[in-house]
Amino acid sequence: MTGNPDIASPKAELERLREEVETIRVQLVEAHKMAAVGRLTAGIVHEINTPIASILTNNEVILRSLEKLKTLVGAQQAGSAPSPKVVQILDTIQSLASVDKIACERISAVVRGLKTFSRADESELRESDLHEGIQSTLKLCQCQYRSQISVETDFGDLPKVECYPHSLNQVFLNIVVNAGQAIDGEGKITVRTRRDGDAVLVSISDTGRGIRPEDADRIFTPGFSTKAVGVGTGLGLAICKRIVEETHHGSLTFEGEPGKGTTFHIRIPVRQKKG
Ligand SMILES: Nc1ncnc2c1ncn2[C@@H]1O[C@H](COP(=O)(O)OP(=O)(O)O)[C@@H](O)[C@H]1O
Ligand SMILES: [Mg+2]
């Protein structure tokens, strides 16, 4: 051993190393879990896509056929007494088919969103449109919020950003989910994007309960959570911090007021330094 004269207490150093190992272990577990979820999602997306596409096509044919049938029934009955019952039944089927169409389109939109997340080819550094990732994140979360939480976007003019889109989507998802979980009852989430010199800034605000001053120093610590077991793992923000600051050389900060809400600022350089 070379020995470090600066080490005041080997015990403290050991403790620090032990903590570091624990942090890395927790991050590894989470990375494995995310990779497994990604693979699983890609499979599900594939399985759902084909039947949904076929239902949507059939639905279009049904709607067109009903339109024709109505014209035919109308023409046939022109001479004799009209049968309101037949027309009524046709109307009912038609409106049900229209609702089915909307339902299918919704499922398709969610599946498209999932696809953005599970895209395996996006593990490479590439130029990406951040708005695309943000939109699909919001689409995924909206099903969870129903009408209680409104979501607003205020998108600026952003250049393509050199990044790992898959990882950044994970950051947007974690922060948007946290924002939703911070809101009791009704509230609003706002996602704002701006160019800021040689970087882009994504700010995600919520009107939720805010972060207590005594927790502010700890929210990025792996394992810190104020949520019930099963709801929170306390890993979300630790992973976000690592993805934004270590992988993308950006910064992840927050501001807010307890009781009023919180804003997380994600700053990502437009270009990554060649190393
Ligand atoms: N938007 C937010 N509003 C209020 N508190 C937040 C918000 N985002 C994060 N927090 C706090 O930071 C903690 C850590 O967040 P995170 O690392 O994502 O873990 P988890 O969500 O699993 O608890 C949360 O438990 C919560 O106390
Ligand atoms: Mg979280």
Instruction: For the chain, list the domains and their CATH numbers.
Output: 126-269 (3.30.565.10)
Ligand in closest contact with the CA of 232: 1
Mean pLDDT of the chain: 86
Q: Cα of 218 to ligand 1 centre, how many Å?
A: 10
Closest CA to 188 of 158, 227, 145, 228: 145
- Among the bound ligands, name the one nearest to the CA of residue 222: 1
Count of other CB atoms within 10 angstroms of residue 60: 12
User: Residues 83, 66: contact at Cβ < 8 Å?
Assistant: no
Give pLDDT tens digits for 233-245.
788 898 889 889 9
Determine the Cα–Cα distance for residues 166 and 116; give it in Å rounded to an integer.
8
DSSP bridge partners of 150: 188
Q: How many CB atoms lie within 10 A of CB 178?
A: 20
**Tokens 């129903």 belong to which residue?**
146
Question: From the CB of 222, is ligand 1 less than 6 Å away?
Answer: no
pTM of the full structure: 0.67
- Six-digit token string for 164: 């790992």
Matching residue, tokens 């099963």: 230
| Ligand 1 centre distance from Cα of residue 226 (Å) | 7
Place of tokens 């974690």: 174
Q: Which of 128, 224, 141, 129 is nearest to 181 (CA)?
A: 141
pLDDT tens column, 78-99: 667 657 888 889 999 999 999 9
Query: Among the atoms of ligand 1, which is closest to the Cα of residue 226?
Result: 25
The ligand placed nearest to the CA atom of residue 231 is: 1
Which tens digits make up the pLDDT trace of 22-51?
Answer: 888 877 777 777 777 777 777 888 888 888
DSSP-derived letter for residue 79 is T
Beta strands in the chain (DSSP E): 126-128, 149-155, 161-163, 187-196, 199-206, 251-257, 261-269
Contact 181, 226 (CB under 8 A): no
CA dist 84 and 255 (Å) reads 63
The larger pLDDT score, comparing residue 121 to residue 210, is at 210
The verdict on the CB of residue 183 being under 6 Å from ligand 1 is no
